[in-house]
Amino acid sequence: MLGRYVSLFQQDLKVTLRNGFSYVVLILAAILVAVVDFAVPSEVKLTPTELFVDLTEGRVFESVLRREGVEEARILRSREELTREVEKTRSGIGIVVEGDLENPRFTVIHQGTEAPENLNLLDATLEGLVRVMRGAESPTGSDIEYLRPRAGATPVPFNKGLVPLIVVFEVVMFGFMVVAVMVFEEKQEGSIRAIRVSPARPLEYILSKASVNVLLALVYGALVVTFTVGPGVDYPRLFLLIGAAALLMTLVSLSVAVFFGNVSEFLFVAIVFMAVFSLPMVSYLLPSFAPAFVTWIPSFPVVFGVREILFPTGKEGFLAPMVGMVLAETAVFLAASHWAVTRKLMREGR
Amino acid sequence: MITVRELYHDYTGKGPYAVRDVSFSIEKGEIFGFLGPSGAGKSTVQNIMIRLLGLQRGQILYEGRSIRDMDARFFNRIGVSFEHPNVYGKLTGYENLKYYAGLFSVPTQDPLRLLDAVGLKDAAHRRASAYSKGMKQRLVFARALLNDPDILFLDEPTSGLDPVTAGTVKHLILDKKRAGATIFLTTHNMYIAEELCDRVAFLHEGQIVAMDSPRSLKLRYGERSVAVEYEEDGQVKKDIFFLGNEGDRRSLNDVVAGKNVQTIHSQEATLEQIFIKLTGRRLA
């Protein structure tokens, strides 16, 4: 079995390299590394930009705002000027402060598209600001405790925080398509017929394709991570997780692709699958969006697992159950792809 | 020995049968030709025999053992040369053979020696996508010989080859026969069948309509004839006269007596003529 697997793997690897997939991986990695390192800023303000005008006696708020790091350009001189500036921007929010420190009055001028949650958050922030100005130690009045010690933990820069997404995106999208293209090419040139009348078994065929896919995913992951996050990463754990995910995606793709004759027929189904597998990425960017069905999608634990490996928070024992879950799903799809390859690819007709 | 008994195959499950009640046997070391036009069912029978299609009804026995009982090791014993060249275009000719050889658990032949035998030595390290159709055909033929099979399935092995290369391939087929291999040859080329096959079966609309050695078929179904080329009105004309036919015999006498005859040849019926006589259709 090993000899047949090795022959198929060498063959698949050579065909893949000559198909240019390896160049696509390298170019894609280079582009995304450049985007992360040079195009995306390390800090991005995700909430609207607040503009202030302090109309209190003695403008007592202005000095506090400056102390809190609000830039001069966001502190305006009159209500009219504030309204004009808010209108000019697409996401600006204007805050007019009137009254005095004991009895401040805030007026919020916004575009009308702000979510109530954002306005409530703003309300609480302003309240906290007043509390601090009145001498309170904390803006909320609540004590804060952390689940785990935050030793050495610095906030993850925004651009680096995208790396887990970029790594898992390739595993999902590229992994799903590459193996399908390999199968369709064999169908088109008829070389699959030669495999059918050889002693090669479906399992060897599947594992060979999966190995090539895993190898491509590991090379891509190593390049992207090394040139964005840096070399000080737990690579064995990272490779374990990426490898398991790439293996799973290959098997899912094989289970589906063998039922189609060519890429055009497969494309619509592929888009649906890739869209579903991309849903956890929304959860990654918006953590509050994590309905149960999204957490069952295999890419969900993978993207959060990769983040934990790249930017450890001190969570212990997270990897074993995560890899275990991916491997359990892999076992299911190995059985499914074996059935599909045996029935639909290794035989012709009824 | 290969035995096929009462073979039926229905592609759709709703009928009609693509192959009906096909029975034959092939002795070890025999070249058995399967002749018929496109759509006659030749490939269907071959595909069932090499397990590309499932056995729905009937029996196929290799040395008395049913094909149903064979596992993947069965493929160590057979070689298949497909009609349509199906090779990895991104790999060289040599790589196509090298990696394919790695799939067998029996000793395999040296890929370069095989490529040399089919006239592809100089192109061994060129990508197969750059090969002509004839070169790909030869590569597929060479691949079928890799595991030194004792049963060889050849589907139109000389299709698209020039006469010299076709001659080389025919010699290799006869070499395999001399080495004891059993050969199942599917073709619609009557000359190849006549030249190579010990026995042939005519397949028409999924059924065998005749089966014997080419010579016996000619003796049983053929008619002796004479082909005459003669001058008439300043032009050369050609006619065939069947000696068993009274009218044709009279016409032949008239031509010989009254015309300027240029050539005259007696000839026996071809397999094509016999096929037409039996089925009303041409082979090609």
ipTM: 0.85
The per-type count for chain B, helices as H runs and strands as E runs, is 9, 13
C-alpha distances (whole Å) from A43 to each of A40, A177, B254 are 8, 33, 107
- Residue B11 forms contact with A (CB below 8 Å): yes
Helix, strand, coil proportions of chain A in percent (round to 5)? 65, 5, 30
Residue B284 has pLDDT above 80, yes or no: no
Burial class (CB in 10 A: 0-12, 13-18, 19+), A330: buried
CB-CB under 8 Å, B102 with A7: yes
Per-residue model confidence as pLDDT tens digits over A275-287: 999 899 888 888 7
The reply to whether omega before B149 is within 30° of 0 (cis) is no
pLDDT value of position A152: 53
For residues B199 and B239, state if they share a domain. no
For residues B106 and B233, state if they share a domain. no
Of A4, A189, A197, the CB nearest to B89: A189
For residues A202 and A273, state if they share a domain. yes
Per-residue model confidence as pLDDT tens digits over B257-276: 988 999 998 877 788 878 88
Q: Is residue B97 part of a domain?
A: yes
pLDDT value of position B131: 95
- Residue B284 forms contact with A (CB below 8 Å): no
Q: Is residue B156 part of a domain?
A: yes
Please say whether the beta carbons of B210 and B221 come within 8 A.
yes
| Chain B residues within 8 A of A342 when measuring between CB atoms | none
For residues A226 and A331, state if they share a domain. yes
| Å between A271 CA and nearest CA of chain B | 28
In single-letter form, the type of residue at position B242 comes to F
CA distance B103 to A199: 6
Of B54, B87, B100, the CB nearest to A347: B54
Overall domain count for chain A = 2
Q: Is residue A145 part of a domain?
A: no
Beta strand extents in chain B (DSSP E only) = 2-9, 19-26, 31-35, 57-62, 65-66, 78-81, 151-155, 182-187, 199-204, 207-212, 225-232, 235-242, 260-267
> Which residue in chain A is spatially nearest to B83 when comparing CA positions?
A190
- For A280, the domain range is 2-41+157-345
| Å between B31 CA and nearest CA of chain A | 20
Q: Is residue A81 part of a domain?
A: yes
Q: pLDDT averaged over chain A?
A: 86
Band (A197; pLDDT cuts 50, 70, 90): very high
For residues B59 and B15, state if they share a domain. yes
Mutation target for A interface from B74, B86, B153: give the one with most A CBs within 10 A. B86
Q: Is residue A151 part of a domain?
A: no
Beta strand extents in B107-259 (DSSP E only) = 151-155, 182-187, 199-204, 207-212, 225-232, 235-242
| Chain B residues within 8 A of A3 when measuring between CB atoms | 102, 105
For residues A306 and A170, state if they share a domain. yes
pLDDT value of position B34: 93
Give the pTM: 0.82
Please say whether the beta carbons of B226 and B267 come within 8 A.
yes
Band (A149; pLDDT cuts 50, 70, 90): low
For residues A249 and A120, state if they share a domain. no
For residues B119 and B260, state if they share a domain. no
Per-residue model confidence as pLDDT tens digits over B14-44: 878 999 999 999 999 999 999 988 888 999 9
Among A133, A167, A201, residue at a domain's last position: A133
pLDDT value of position B106: 95
Mutation target for A interface from B46, B68, B90: give the one with most A CBs within 10 A. B90
For residues B64 and B139, state if they share a domain. yes
For residues B32 and B161, state if they share a domain. yes
Q: Is residue A142 part of a domain?
A: no
- Residue B148 forms contact with A (CB below 8 Å): no
- Residue B68 forms contact with A (CB below 8 Å): no
Closest CA to A6 of B143, B98, B71: B98
Per-residue model confidence as pLDDT tens digits over B116-159: 999 999 999 999 999 999 999 999 999 999 999 999 999 999 88
Determine the average pLDDT of the residues in A170-194: 90
Q: Is residue B213 part of a domain?
A: yes
Per-residue model confidence as pLDDT tens digits over B79-130: 999 988 899 999 999 999 999 999 999 999 999 999 999 999 999 999 999 9
CB-CB under 8 Å, B10 with A350: yes
Residue B283 has pLDDT above 70, yes or no: no
- Residues 110-129 of chain B whose Cβ lies under 8 A from any Cβ of chain A: 127
Of B54, B80, B127, the CB nearest to A350: B54
For residues A193 and A299, state if they share a domain. yes
Residue A150 has pLDDT above 60, yes or no: no
CB-CB under 8 Å, A194 with B143: yes
Band (A327; pLDDT cuts 50, 70, 90): confident
For residues B180 and B102, state if they share a domain. yes
Q: Is residue A165 part of a domain?
A: yes
For residues A319 and A175, state if they share a domain. yes
| Chain A residues within 8 A of B105 when measuring between CB atoms | 3-4, 199
For residues B68 and B85, state if they share a domain. yes
> Which residue in chain A is spatially nearest to B99 when comparing CA positions?
A7
pLDDT value of position B32: 97
| Chain A residues within 8 A of B73 when measuring between CB atoms | 199
Determine the average pLDDT of the residues in A40-45: 78
Q: pLDDT averaged over chain B?
A: 91
Mutation target for B interface from A9, A10, A11: give the one with most B CBs within 10 A. A11
For residues A58 and A33, state if they share a domain. no
Indicate which CATH number applies to the domain containing B199: 3.40.50.300
pLDDT value of position A93: 87
> Which residue in chain A is spatially nearest to B47 when comparing CA positions?
A348
For residues B175 and B61, state if they share a domain. yes
For residues B45 and B64, state if they share a domain. yes
- Residue A8 forms contact with B (CB below 8 Å): yes
Count the neighbouring beta carbons within 10 Å of the beta carbon of residue B269: 18
For residues A187 and A112, state if they share a domain. no
Q: Is residue A171 part of a domain?
A: yes
Lowest mean pLDDT, pick from A43-57, B56-70, B195-209: A43-57
Q: Is residue B281 part of a domain?
A: no
Lowest mean pLDDT, pick from A244-253, B65-74, B227-236: B227-236
Determine the average pLDDT of the residues in A240-256: 92
For residues A103 and A186, state if they share a domain. no
For residues A181 and A65, state if they share a domain. no
For residues A281 and A338, state if they share a domain. yes
For residues B163 and B258, state if they share a domain. no
Q: Is residue B9 part of a domain?
A: yes
Per-residue model confidence as pLDDT tens digits over A62-75: 888 888 788 888 88
Q: Is residue B274 part of a domain?
A: no
| Chain B residues within 8 A of A197 when measuring between CB atoms | 50-52, 75, 78, 80
Q: Is residue B255 part of a domain?
A: yes
pLDDT value of position B269: 76
For residues B144 and B199, state if they share a domain. yes
Q: Is residue B283 part of a domain?
A: no
Band (B9; pLDDT cuts 50, 70, 90): very high
- For B228, the domain range is 223-267
| Å between B151 CA and nearest CA of chain A | 13
Overall domain count for chain B = 2
| Chain A residues within 8 A of B87 when measuring between CB atoms | 189, 191, 194
Determine the average pLDDT of the residues in A16-27: 86
Residue A26 has pLDDT above 80, yes or no: yes
For residues A241 and A215, state if they share a domain. yes
| Chain A residues within 8 A of B88 when measuring between CB atoms | 11, 15, 189, 191
| pLDDT, greater one: A192 or A139 | A192
Per-residue model confidence as pLDDT tens digits over B188-231: 888 889 899 999 999 999 999 999 999 898 888 777 788 889 99
Q: Is residue A208 part of a domain?
A: yes
Please say whether the beta carbons of B203 and B45 come within 8 A.
yes
> Beta strands B151-155 and B182-187: pairing type?
parallel
- Residue A343 forms contact with B (CB below 8 Å): no
- Residue A19 forms contact with B (CB below 8 Å): yes
Q: What percentage of chain A reaches a pLDDT higher than 70?
A: 95
